[in-house]
A and B are shown apart, each in its own frame.
Chain A
Amino acid sequence: MLSRVAETLYWIGRYVERAESSARLVIATQQLLLDLPKGTPLNWWSMIDIFGSSESFRARYRRQDEASVIRFLIADEENSGSLINSITAARRNARTIREIIPREAWEQLNAIHLSLQQGLPQALRRQHRHACLSSVIHTAQQFSGVIEGTMLHNTGYLFWRLGRHLERADMTSRIIDVQSATLLRSERDTLQQTYQNIQWMSVLQSLSAYQSYRQQMAAPVKRALVVRFLLQDSEFPRAFRHAIAALLHDAQRLPGSEEVVATAAAIIAQLDSAEPGALDSTALHHYIDQLQLALAGLHQSINGRYFAAA
């Protein structure tokens, strides 16, 4: 398999997953903010912070209000991490290897790209936002379904999965971080405690994790348990640990993958020895920072071994 083709598949996996998770993140935050008591300042800003794009945001937007943040995250073509840019990048990558990916998968990417270009102005308004973001999530799911169900499960397929799982781990940790940060900023508000459980429930729902959580944890929604579930569960597909374990499993099937496998194994070992659910908001934020650095290292290791070598 050509390195270029492997890299392209890897990035398609990442971009499609990123688009799906961005949609989930916006929905989650919106639900969360709606549930907060009247008078609580709406904290849209935390999402910008979590994406690490506060500088590029400030450079072009004067106000940190809902409209600006939503535009920046979903529709802004100047923001490299925006949802529309993730879809555009996935499509651009797919276009260069149309002979490799199943035709239906290509057509789905094409269709969502078109429908986003037409539907984005609407998605900026609250009442249509949910429908538009849901369609992104559904398309991403269908896209993955077509790849899983019809593409050769060969080396290229493994690279697509590598990208998808790495991005998924990254985005799940970011979504936890957003919630955590939102709480952090309003800790002085005594009413906050009352609403905490509702908020974590909306996090679970945004990751389609609520049902699985109830089955797996057999407990009501509690911050410590949700954090543990989303970071450490080994059976829920969007949990951080599950994604890295899947990546490790796939990497073992690749040629010369010792270093990539070792890097992934180290992340899992580190995760298994920690108790992130017990951390307070500030400590949790730092812990997630560490996880993201480890993911960056994992990407470097894949990139160095397979894409940049030779």
Chain B
Amino acid sequence: MAISWRNYQVNNLYDELMAGSGRIRPQARSLCRYFQRLSESALQQRRSAAELAIQGMGITFTVYSEKAGGAIDRAWPFDVIPRIIKASEWQRTVEGLKQRVQALNLFIDDLYHDQKIIRDRVVPADLLADSVNFRPQCVGITPPHRVWAHICGSDLVRDRDGTLYVLEDNLRVPSGVSYMLENRLVMKRIFPELFRSNAILPIDDYPSQLYDMLQAMAPAGCDQPEIVVLTPGIYNSAYFEHTYLAQQMGVELVQGSDLLVDSDDVVYMRTVEGRARVDVIYRRVDDLFLDPEVFNRDSMLGVPGLMRAWKKGNVALVNAPGAGVADDKVIYAYVPRIIRYYLDQEPLLPNVPTWLCHERKEREHVLAHLDQLVVKPANESGGYGMLIGPHASAKERAHFARLIRRDPRNYIAQPMLALSTAPTLIDDHVEPRHLDLRPFILSAGDSVQVTMGGLTRVAMRRGSTVVNSSQGGGSKDTWIIDDRESDHAVACC
């Protein structure tokens, strides 16, 4: 026997598949039994087949390495045991995510127009003044359907008691959706029988939903819009995803140098047939590199004049420049208030309790409890620049105390959550590993769609809670399972 669920230690944490040692959650029953029946050699065979499939399909992510003298492609680390969420729970989560993104879009639109929320003193004015992602160049612009954050990747984590919290919202250029899709393809290839015996809801229509959303953003009177994906190029860590999405949607993958904006303020791409008009740009280049006429003058990744074309309404930019203002971790703390303000509803999904270092009282609390808290910079992503208090040395904590005092606006602190775990194949047995979940929310005005599940990222090192692929994280397929049948945890057979 390769896998024994009896010996699996749940360790007083919430486990996604196990309700306690030896007690399988009902939605995971068929899966766990399947793995238990696999012989050691069959299990290893499937695992290497999965690795081969990943290599063969060319699923990689890029990391920058000083040692290798540049960017290197690494195979995507993948665990064959899926993570399961019940459809009934997921339905509630979807409603919460839709509510959240709807409110965030209203918030961003308000910030670039009347700023009612600031005049009504729900969000303090100085917060906006100090926001590094607020773009004064976007003030007064109204993008199609008043949507700014067309694609949002929100990170969800589950605490000890099973509650799902929103940890952060990524509104700039969230990545990972291609891995979600590829993980499912790998699972289908390697474990086809599991898909017959479980009611796993499909996820494959994301690329066509994305395409439909992009199409809906086209300038008025444009029936057959030319849609492109704009990538910073091969050295970007998400380049694989850029090529993947362009391929799946059947649109051109372009770089800044492929595009130009003429004196008519229209965007064209340079083709061998001559210039061709571009109507919608799914851009994976950060705001500040988008247009050297307006933002970073030295940017080689952008297109001079892009903002002119966008302001004139001649091209749609997805996500809109300036959407990142709501990506700020300080703004994050205000999201529940933002939801109440614009929608007059109670938030369906809770935020993680957050202390704001720019508020004197809260800062003092943070400084006094650095050994218990997680401190995050307001505008970093990828898990960089964080302090995980309980695991940090006294020296590291002192360093962060200095950073916080020097620039309080740039830091927030949250309690150390007891992140949920899921069984993960480590060598020849299963061990619990911490994980999170990144669903993707597509907004096209009236219609908002959420992926069925999302990308589950796993911290592959024992005890670690850092799930970022750049820092040793892996991933799992995420199953939303129709759970209308049984609902009692069962003892292991």
Contact = CB atoms under 8 A, between A and B. Distances in A.
Interface of A: 1-4, 6, 95-96, 98-99, 103, 155, 159, 254-256, 306, 309-310
Given A96-B233, A99-B243, A2 B252 contact: yes
A98 B272 contact: no
A155 B275 CA distance: 16
13 contacts: A2-B269, A2-B272, A3-B271, A4-B258, A4-B270, A99-B244, A155-B272, A254-B272, A255-B273, A306-B272, A309-B270, A309-B274, A310-B260
A29 B191 CA distance: 56
Contacts of B252: 2
B175 interface: no
B254 interface: yes
Contacts of A310: 260, 268, 270-271, 274-275
Give the interface centre of B58, B243, B272 by most chain A CB atoms within 10 Å: B272
B213 interface: no
Contact of A4 (B234, B243, B246, B255): B255
A1 to B, nearest CB: 5
Contacts of B234: 95-96
A310 B244 CA distance: 27
A158 B425 CA distance: 48
B272 A255 contact: yes
B257 interface: yes
A244 to B, nearest CB: 20
B231 to A, nearest CB: 10
Contacts of B273: 1, 255-256
Contacts of A103: 58
Contacts of B254: 2
Interface residues of B, number: 22
Contacts of B257: 4
A3 B272 contact: yes
B272 A1 contact: yes
A255 B272 CA distance: 8
Contact of B253 (A95, A99, A159, A255): A99
Nearest to A254: B272
Contacts of A309: 270, 274
Contacts of B272: 1-3, 6, 155, 159, 254-255, 306
B41 interface: no
Interface in B238-263: 243-244, 246-247, 252-255, 257-258, 260
A292 to B, nearest CB: 26
A310 B252 CA distance: 17
A99 B246 contact: yes
A255 B276 CA distance: 14
Contacts of A159: 272
A132 B234 CA distance: 30
A74 to B, nearest CB: 22
Given A2-B271, A99-B244, A309-B270, 10 more contacts: A2-B254, A3-B272, A4-B257, A99-B243, A99-B253, A159-B272, A254-B272, A309-B274, A310-B260, A310-B268
Given A96-B233, A96-B234, A99-B253, A1 B271 contact: yes
B23 to A, nearest CB: 45
Contacts of B246: 99
A310 B271 CA distance: 8
Interface in B266-287: 268-275
B247 A99 contact: yes
